[in-house]
Amino acid sequence: METVAYVIVTWNNADIIAGCLDAIVAQTGVDPEIFVLDNASSDATVEVVRQYPGVHLTESDKNLGFARGNNVLIERVLAESTAPWVALINSDAVIVPEWTSRLVEFAQGRDHVAALQGLTLDFYDHDVVDSQHIFVSRRLQGNQYGCREQVDLLSYYPRKVFGVNAAAALYSRAFIEQQPDPDSSFFDERFYMYYEDVDVACRALVAGWDAFFVPGAIAYHMGSVSSKKRANIYPVVMTARNQAAVAYKNLSWRIILRSLPFVFAGVKDFVRQAKHDFGPAGARRVMRAYIAGVFRLPLYARSRRAIRSATLVDQGYLYAIMQNDGIRG
């Protein structure tokens, strides 16, 4: 029976964390090890987690954000566990009992597996898809494939994809231990929140690692529960800020320059949507975030050099995947 380490970062999740942990404890066919980091919650989250014997709890005295919080736990897993698989589960996600075993079984016999995800559905409406996989489009924007579509089980099949949504995903220890970026142990902490999993997906793909969608593994995701405790525009702003960094770090100048006309169209649409949702002030804030993201690019120069030197995938093939909604086969 495979040992799987589950990594969960919490922040004021006392009302939902039990559902997440109960689902992990109920996993079949694997030996679970659970690691939780609490980001200085002001509610009873820690007290709830302590009710689960055997959980490895790390308490932070400040909010480290999603990226740093997960990195702290992943570093602890690598130091304290021999698990060959690390499952990242959002505190607002619930996985079915067979979720892990179906992903692990699918990965058996396959080389260079970076990550796998199942069919992630809307927690509140199980007939609506939350995510099948993630990908970067020719607009250089991260996208959730299938998001908000009606479930159509007959159309799904296991396939190789661009990358996986870290709300409920399984990563191989082998991939985690072979990160080429000298400034990022796994998630890039300079992102703080949002787009970290898109960055990891790009990094894996260009280096020749594979990601898979396995529809038989079902998860349910509430979606941005922690960020909703902030102003609603926060995830939109952080998404805008971090977009340029993903492209700059991971993609060739050939792809970036070829994509520029589509990028400008994407930014225009994104700002227009922000104006619709948050008014003119919100649109200005999102536009400033895009500009800030461009000015932050020098922070990632060393990362770009390291990742580009480790790139194995043909750039024409990569661009074709980007135009094919991240579906590789």
Q: Map out the domains of the chain with their CATH numbers.
A: 1-329 (3.90.550.10)
- Residue 181: what pLDDT? 81
Query: Tokens 């007939």, residue?
Result: 127
Q: How far is CA 242 from CA 22, 198, 291, 293, 313, in A?
A: 33, 10, 10, 6, 23
Question: pLDDT per residue over 244-289, tens digit each?
Answer: 999 999 999 999 999 999 999 999 999 999 999 999 999 999 999 9
DSSP states of 140-164: S-EEEETTTPBP-GGG---EEESB-
**Closest by alpha carbon to 261, among 137, 139, 130?**
139
- Per-residue pLDDT band for 136 (boundaries 50, 70, 90) equals very high
Helices (H) and strands (E) in the chain, counts: 10, 12
Tokens read off for 209: 């690692």
Tokens read off for 97: 């009992």
Mean per-residue pLDDT over the chain, rounded: 94
Question: pLDDT per residue over 148-167, tens digit each?
Answer: 999 998 899 999 999 999 99
Question: pLDDT per residue over 108-123, tens digit each?
Answer: 999 999 999 999 999 9
- Per-residue pLDDT band for 225 (boundaries 50, 70, 90) equals very low
pLDDT for residue 227 is more than 50:
no
Question: pLDDT per residue over 54-98, tens digit each?
Answer: 999 999 999 999 999 999 999 999 999 999 999 999 999 999 999
The fraction of the chain above a pLDDT of 90, given in percent, is: 92
Q: How far is CA 254 from CA 138, 140, 207, 260, 316, in A?
A: 12, 13, 17, 10, 9
Give the contacts of 75 (CB within 8 A, at least 6 positions apart): 185
DSSP H stretches of helix in the chain: 17-25, 45-49, 65-80, 99-107, 173-176, 196-206, 234-250, 253-295, 301-309, 315-323
Question: pLDDT per residue over 19-29, tens digit each?
Answer: 999 999 999 99
Between CA 57 and CA 307 the distance in angstroms is 33
Between CA 109 and CA 255 the distance in angstroms is 33
**Closest by alpha carbon to 195, among 293, 62, 64?**
293
